[in-house]
Amino acid sequence: MSIDDTAQEFAPLTAPRHDWSLAEIITLYRQPLNDLLHRAHAVHRSCFDPNRIQLSTLLNIKSGGCPEDCAYCPQSVRYKTGVENEGLMSCDQVLAEAQRAKASGAKRFCMGAAWRGPKDRDIDRVAEMISGVRTLGLETCVTLGMLKPGQAEQLKSAGLDYYNHNLDTSENFYSSIISTRTFQERLDTLQRVRDAGINVCCGGIIGMGESVEDRAGLLQTLACLPRHPESVPINTLVKVAGTPLAEQEDTDPIDLVRTVACARILMPGAYVRLSAGRTEMSDSTQALCYFAGANSIFYGEKLLTTENPQFSRDQSLFERLGLSTDPSDTSGEAHTAPNV
Ligand code: SAM
Ligand code: DTB
Ligand code: SF4
């Protein structure tokens, strides 16, 4: 095959589609790894600078005591994990952390709260945090659980750039993981976020005992939304003692790479974030994920309650791979009209 043939083969893949069938995605996922990687990387290169990684930093602004029963989560009040139930952090504390994240090179600051959903008085306090973080020159993201009508608009008025709300897994496997909120309720929150004009950050977790069909099903739901999410976090289960999923088998890194590659092909213009689970991941697995199309990470030594790689480990990997992370460099922004 000539280079021209290759270009022809891949050109249509960069045009976003919203009609993927489950069978097509499973076929994509199961093809020989080299073929999958070749295709995903070609799509990645056609939409992004492949040597640039976006950095987001996470802060747990309200830890533990959550009434939901998400089987993976150390913050559920139902599991004995040692995570303390703490109140909402003060705005000053949050801004001090945001300042540190900015000084470390983060572009986006993501604030997470262990709530089923925010109360109206919580929204006022989080709105103040969002305005403050924006004033520091950082993009803002919050993940607060389910939103009621009107709450997304309030967050938008405060200047919120992104709302993170994950589907976590396929609709079929969902009830094995969470019983206290439905898959449809998650879709409803995503719709409210979209309707309010906030960018959507939505992805899931692999390694919870789901099948290939479930991974494909999650990606199908995401890719068939009327607009693709702007950010797609792919989390690898962090097995926390005390949660129902603590004794799950380790996730095969090749399955992670395949999932990242499929996400890249299905949602060409999205930032695909290699999210939880990097501490346990080898450098070479991460490198393969970046080749497969991951172009964002959580940067900072803590996720919400669990460890994330040390700054020095990430810096050393970026240098060894020749990856740029400069937040002022916008040359690697998506250069297609990605999420139509
Ligand atoms: N309470 C809010 C909610 O659930 O929407 C926001 C915070 S919640 C911790 C955000 C996401 O973190 C979850 O949807 C899940 O995808 C991810 N997550 C939580 N615990 C995890 C774990 N042990 N391993 C991997 N991902 C995890
Ligand atoms: C996302 O998809 N992953 C992040 C963020 N969005 C909020 C959270 C990962 C949490 C990992 C477990 C913990 O640290 O508690
Ligand atoms: Fe609560 Fe969110 Fe954890 Fe579920 S994932 S238990 S909603 S903090």
Task: Summarize pLDDT for 209-219 with one digit per residue, the tens.
Answer: 999 999 999 99
Give the integer Cα–Cα distance in Å for 250 and 190: 30
65: left (phi over 0), alpha (psi -120 to 50) or beta: left
Tell the burial category of 119 from Cβ atoms under 10 Å away from its Cβ (0-12, 13-18, 19+). Answer: exposed
Say whether 289 is catalytic. Answer: no
Give pTM, 2 decimals: 0.94
pLDDT at 329 (0 to 100): 53
| CA–centroid distance, residue 328 to ligand 3 (Å) | 33
Atom of ligand 2 nearest to the CA of 164: 6
DSSP-derived letter for residue 121 is H
DSSP 3-state percent helix, strand, coil across the chain (nearest 5): 40, 15, 45
Q: Single out the catalytic residue among 91, 141, 202, 289.
A: 141
Mean pLDDT, residues 274-290: 98
pLDDT at 15 (0 to 100): 79
Q: What proportion of the chain, given as a percentage, has pLDDT over 70?
A: 92
Say whether 313 is catalytic. Answer: no
The CB of 122 under 6 Å from ligand 3? The reply is no
Whose C-alpha lies nearest to ligand 3, atom 4? 70
Whose C-alpha lies nearest to ligand 3, atom 2? 114
pLDDT band at 1 (very low <50, low <70, confident <90, very high): very low
| CA–centroid distance, residue 301 to ligand 1 (Å) | 17
| CA–centroid distance, residue 74 to ligand 3 (Å) | 8
Q: Distances from the Cα of 145 to the Cαs of 46, 68, 122, 186, in angstroms?
A: 34, 10, 12, 9
Say whether 224 is catalytic. Answer: no
Q: Single out the catalytic residue among 110, 202, 262, 289.
A: 110
pLDDT at 333 (0 to 100): 52
| CA–centroid distance, residue 134 to ligand 2 (Å) | 22
